[in-house]
Amino acid sequence: MKRVTVIAQKKELEKVKNAAENLIYNVEDLENGLVRLDIYVNDALLDDLIPKLQDSVDLRHRESVIEVVSPDFVISSSLQKREKSIKKEGRATVEELLASSKKYTRIDFGKTTLIIIAGIIALIGLFMNNVPIIIGAMLLSPLLGPIYSFVINISVGRSKDAWLSMLNMGIMLILVIVTSYIATLLISIFIPVYLTPEILMRFDTNPIYILMAILLGFAAVFAYAKGLSESIAGIAIAAALLPPLVVSGIALAMYLDYAAKPLLLSMENIVGLITGGLMAIIVLRIEPRRYYEKAKARKMLHRLYLTLTSLLVILILLSLLL
Edge-first strand order for the sheet with 65-69 is: 24-29, 34-41, 2-9, 65-69
Beta-sheet strands, E only, within the chain:
2-9, 24-29, 34-41, 65-69
* Rounded average pLDDT over 64-82: 76
* Rounded average pLDDT over 267-285: 90
For residue 93, pLDDT beyond 80: no
What pLDDT shows up at residue 101? 81
pLDDT classification of 91: cutoffs 50, 70, 90: low
Chain segment 112-165, per-residue pLDDT in tens = 899 999 999 999 999 999 988 988 888 778 887 888 889 988 988 888 899 999
pLDDT classification of 87: cutoffs 50, 70, 90: very low
For residue 312, pLDDT beyond 50: yes
Chain segment 157-197, per-residue pLDDT in tens = 888 899 999 999 999 999 999 999 999 999 999 888 888 99
For residue 78, pLDDT beyond 70: no
* Rounded average pLDDT over 59-73: 85
Q: Is 129 left (phi over 0), alpha (psi -120 to 50) or beta?
A: left
Contact 231, 139 (CB under 8 A): yes
- Calculate the average pLDDT of the chain: 85
φ/ψ of residue 299, rounded to 5: -65, -45
pLDDT classification of 226: cutoffs 50, 70, 90: confident
Per-residue DSSP letters for 257-290?
A: GGTHHHHHHHHHHHHHHHHHHHHHHHHHT---SS
What pLDDT shows up at residue 291? 66
* Rounded average pLDDT over 59-82: 78
Per-residue DSSP letters for 186-247?
A: HHHHHS-----HHHHHTT---HHHHHHHHHHHHHHHHHHHTT--HHHHHHHHHHHHHHHHHH
For residue 238, pLDDT beyond 80: no
Give me the domains of the chain, ranges plus CATH numbers. Answer: 2-85 (3.30.70.120), 94-321 (no CATH)
What pLDDT shows up at residue 129? 92
